[in-house]
Chain A
C-alpha cells in the first residue's frame, strides 16, 4: 500500500545503536514542540514534548534537544530497537500566534536487525 515514508530522508541504523533525528523548525515564536512517531497504516503517536523555556528533556530511551538560536530540534533514541522503525515528525505550535500545530515533513528510520 501507499507509504507515508516515500521520498523522505531516511536514517538506517543498526539495532542497538543510538539514533539521532533532526528537525529544523520555521517559527522563532513557537512555544511548544512535539515529536511524533508514525508506523505504517497508523496515525501519529506522541513520543515526547518540550517547551521553549527548556533546552533538553528526557523520557524513556528518548531525549529531545532544543536549540532556539538556530531553530533546531533533535530526537535521540537510545539502543534502537526494530519497533522503532517508523516515520518521525516534529511539530511546533505558537500559543500567541495562530494556535496551529504545524508538522515538519518527517524522517524515516529503518532499524537493521
Chain B
C-alpha cells in the first residue's frame, strides 16, 4: 500500500515563481492536512480539509492556497514563492477527526 504520497520530493524555485505540491492518499481518508516544518519550530498547519470540496485555514495560511477537488488528492499552491517559504512540507491524512494521521515523506522546497 502506498499510503500518503507527495510529489515532488525536492524543488528549487526562484522568488516569484509559482508551483503546486500534490498529495495523494489511497486510504479513503476524509481528512487531509498540509504542514510546514522549519528547524526548531515543529510542524505548523497551513491548511486542512475535512472532506472532498472543503478546505480551511490553519495556523500559517498566508501565501498558500489549497484545493480538494477529489477525495484522494489535496493540492498546495504557492502563487508567488518567497524565500520565507523555504521549508519542508508534509502532507497527512486521517480517516476521521479523532484518529491517527498518516504522513507522507515530505517535500523539501528551497526558494532562492
**Could you list which residues of chain A lie within 8 angstroms of chain B, going by C-beta atoms?**
2-8, 31-32, 34, 36, 41-46, 49, 51, 89, 91, 93, 95, 98-106
Contact = CB atoms under 8 A, between A and B. Distances in A.
Nearest to A98: B56
A101 B92 contact: yes
Contacts of B105: 42-43
Nearest to B6: A43
Nearest to A106: B42
Contact of A101 (B37, B94, B106): B94
B5 to A, nearest CB: 11
A99 to B, nearest CB: 5
Interface in B18-35: 31, 33, 35
Given A32-B98, A43-B105, A101 B33 contact: yes
B95 interface: no
Interface residues of B, number: 31
Contacts of B94: 101
B81 interface: no
B31 A99 contact: yes
A105 B92 contact: no
B42 A104 contact: yes
A101 B39 contact: no
Nearest to B105: A43
B55 to A, nearest CB: 12
Contacts of B98: 31-32, 51, 93, 95
B39 A7 contact: yes
Given A2-B108, A45-B103, 6 more contacts: A34-B100, A36-B103, A43-B103, A98-B56, A102-B59, A103-B45
Contacts of A100: 45, 48, 58-59
Contacts of B50: 99
A105 B90 contact: no
B99 to A, nearest CB: 8
